[in-house]
Structure 1
Amino acid sequence: MAMKVLVTPRSFGKHSAAPIELLRASGLTVVFNPHGRILEREEMRALIRDADAVIVGVDPLDRDVLAEAGNLKLIAKYGVGTDNIDMEYAASRGIAVTTTAGANTEAVADYTFALLLAAARKMVPIDRACRQSDWKKITTVDVYGRTLGLVGLGNIGKAVVRRAAGFKMNVIAYDAQQDTDFAAEHGVKYTASLDELLREADFITLHVPLLPSTRHMIGEREFALMKETAVLVNTARGGLIDERALLDAMRQGRIWGAGVDVFEQEPPENKGLLSLDNIVIGSHCAASTVQAIDNMGLMASERVIHYLCEGGSR
């Protein structure tokens, strides 16, 4: 009997059938998300029961869901964030977890800079006004030559640094693990603390995983440290920002603006965020380019084949 692979991301194989063909050519049965949206817990429990592997996006894979998956050998994350997966329980069951690290790095870095520019130059309210034949000038803030602060300097953060070079930006970073060689090569200065970065930066971009230690790392206290002309961008994980504090900061004009692609609940539970004109909102789509989707699909399929068909362990 063929082994079963459950695929939940809606974009998997959307632009190229190669990832699907790769799985089927290896004799695997592929079952897709039938609902056209992120799966709810009970839906996931029903679909995963006899799966040998799952290629998963942000659908829930907590202990209750994984307890239903008696045959499961591999969770192949379609992306890099694993906060929707109970990693400890998966390890206790001997279920391997892989990611597609690197597949969407450039796409997310592009989108990070797109949000940064859009928020700085108020592109959304300007566009909205123009569509109403309102041609008044709206004064905005420069990006060129200003200070960019990166919270986390991993692969995506480094890709953002390379883009910032074209804008002659002064770049600072805060990261517990420092890549001093990269910093020296690209003129990045590490700050001694997050507080120091928040005080100095004109633009702040988040590139860290969601962990107990990073949840709500940007809250009321942190907004109070930022410049009034600061722009905050998050393409990493919902939950890094305290959304109630974000709403207050935006309403009070405490900072200039924000670009947010990820929320704790999507769409955001706090509907007040949707009414602001100083925040640019994305639908968790920073990685959604044709090239990144193809890369993630192929990489995830290769991980599944390696584990299920080739006896791989890495």
Structure 2
Amino acid sequence: MIKILANDGIDPIGKKMLEEAGFVVDTETVPQDKLAEALLNYDGITVRSATKLRKELIDQVPNIKLIGRGGVGMDNIDVEYARSKGITVVNTPAASSLSVAELVFAHLFTGVRFLQDSNRKMPVEGNTRFNDLKKAYAKGIELRGKTIGIIGFGRIGRETATVALGLGMNVLAYDLFPFEGSLSLSFQGGASVQIPVKTVSLEEVITGSDFISLHTPFADKPILGAEEFAKMKKGVAVVNCSRGGTIDEPALIEALNNGKVAFAGLDVFDNEPTPKAELLQHPKVSLTPHIGASTNEAQERIGAELANLIIDHFNK
């Protein structure tokens, strides 16, 4: 009987699918320092972003035949090394795309109407300085007609572009792999329309966008640093729902303080789970604690997709 440790949890739908296929699924989290011993009793493991599966651990668990990542990024797994050892490594890149894209726009709508600051001040000052706060937050802007730059045009980047197009925004997109095609906008009742989209240079995205959203894997150095901020439009906004480390955080703080960047929306940080206090307390930053894929719908899709991948692998 195949045993799977879902160390960072799995949606009940995925767990049920695996159990109905004859697998044993344990969902009790094993601490990182106890994993080597625990995994000797399992054939496979699924993780999210919390559990780390590095070379040293992989060498200690030769019985593991599959590693499943619920989500997109696999920065916490030494993927190529695992595969060199004959371990199958799978993830679920499509399942969370819409959830992440919608969070991008939650941050954008928050920033353009100053909600991140008003939600802090209204509870303590709303009954004494109501008119002052009303004046302070009276210069919001609309998203329609503005240009969003999308850096990284994979599944999540394209989903973000689709939401933007539906709102009447212009899209500039960049990716290491150029794209020229169309995106489908679907409407209630089954109607849809195809919108042509093609990628441009990174320089065009950085210099020509009113808002910039990052959708790239972790890189050796930040994609957006002081040099890039200097080239952006004054009053630009930046959203990062991809990976910590893709923005130079000190450079971002400087750009927020000098007014080059109007606001930032951050779901990911350099030092998770202990982000910089200066970012957490900044009045121009909208904050979430790495919840891009954390919707009920996305977790159901991730669980089901992961279960199917595991079942297919062990039933070959």
How high is the TM-score relative to the length of structure 1?
0.88
Q: 2:283 aligns to what?
A: 277
Q: 2:114 aligns to what?
A: 122
1:26 and 2:7 matched: no
Letter in 1 for 2:208: E
1:251, 1:276 within 8 Å by CA — same for their partners in 2? no
Instruction: Determine the C-alpha separation between the residues in 1 that align with 2:38 and 2:250.
Output: 35
Q: 2:7 aligns to what?
A: 8
Equivalent residue for 1:50, pick from 35, 41, 46: 41
Give matches, 1:89-168, under 5 Å. 89-132=81-124, 133=126, 134-135=129-130, 136-137=133-134, 138=137, 139-168=139-168
Segments of structure 1 that go 5 or more residues without pairing to the other structure are: none
1:50, 1:69 within 8 Å by CA — same for their partners in 2? no
Q: 1:266 aligns to what?
A: 272
Q: 1:77 aligns to what?
A: 69
Offset at 1:182? 1.9
2:235, 2:259 within 8 Å by CA — same for their partners in 1? no
Instruction: Determine the C-alpha separation between the residues in 2 that align with 1:92 and 1:57.
Output: 22
- What is the root-mean-square deviation in Å for CA atoms of aligned residues? 2.0
Instruction: Say which is worse superposed, 177-186 or 121-130, in terms of deviation.
Output: 177-186
1:206 and 2:201 matched: no
Residues 45-104 of structure 1 deviation map (CA, whole Å, 9 limit, x = unaligned) = 343333211111012111112122221111111001111110121121011111112111
The count of aligned residue pairs is 298
1:66 and 2:75 matched: no
2:180, 2:198 within 8 Å by CA — same for their partners in 1? no
Instruction: Determine the C-alpha separation between the residues in 2 that align with 1:43 and 1:243.
Output: 33
Identity across matched positions, percent: 32
Change (3 A) 1:252 1:47: farther
Secondary structure (helix, strand or coil) at the match of 1:181 reads: strand
Offset at 1:183? 6.9
Letter in 2 for 1:208: T
1:56, 1:77 within 8 Å by CA — same for their partners in 2? yes
Instruction: Determine the C-alpha separation between the residues in 1 that align with 2:84 and 2:91.
Output: 19
Secondary structure (helix, strand or coil) at the match of 2:116 reads: helix
Q: 1:186 aligns to what?
A: 195
How high is the TM-score relative to the length of structure 2?
0.88
Offset at 1:112? 1.1
2:4, 2:46 within 8 Å by CA — same for their partners in 1? yes
Q: 1:170 aligns to what?
A: 170
Q: 1:250 aligns to what?
A: 256
Instruction: Say which is worse superposed, 182-191 or 95-104, in terms of deviation.
Output: 182-191
1:44, 1:60 within 8 Å by CA — same for their partners in 2? no
Instruction: Say which is worse superposed, 194-203 or 164-173, in terms of deviation.
Output: 164-173
Secondary structure (helix, strand or coil) at the match of 1:22 reads: helix
Instruction: Determine the C-alpha separation between the residues in 2 that align with 1:190 and 1:141.
Output: 26
Change (3 A) 1:183 1:287: closer
Residues 202-224 of structure 1 deviation map (CA, whole Å, 9 limit, x = unaligned) = 00011112243xx4111121122
Instruction: Say which is worse superposed, 285-294 or 45-54, in terms of deviation.
Output: 45-54
Letter in 1 for 2:237: V
Letter in 2 for 1:116: L
Instruction: Determine the C-alpha separation between the residues in 1 that align with 2:287 and 2:53.
Output: 26
Instruction: Say which is worse superposed, 152-161 or 283-292, in terms of deviation.
Output: 152-161
Instruction: Determine the C-alpha separation between the residues in 1 that align with 2:271 and 2:101.
Output: 22
Instruction: Determine the C-alpha separation between the residues in 2 that align with 1:33 and 1:253.
Output: 47
Residues 227-262 of structure 1 deviation map (CA, whole Å, 9 limit, x = unaligned) = 221111111111211222222222333310111111
Secondary structure (helix, strand or coil) at the match of 1:223 reads: helix
Instruction: Say which is worse superposed, 183-192 or 167-176, in terms of deviation.
Output: 183-192
Instruction: Determine the C-alpha separation between the residues in 1 that align with 2:211 and 2:85.
Output: 43
Secondary structure (helix, strand or coil) at the match of 1:111 reads: helix
Instruction: Determine the C-alpha separation between the residues in 2 that align with 1:83 and 1:34.
Output: 20
Q: Which aligned runs of 4 or more in structure 1 are off by greater than 4 angstroms?
A: none
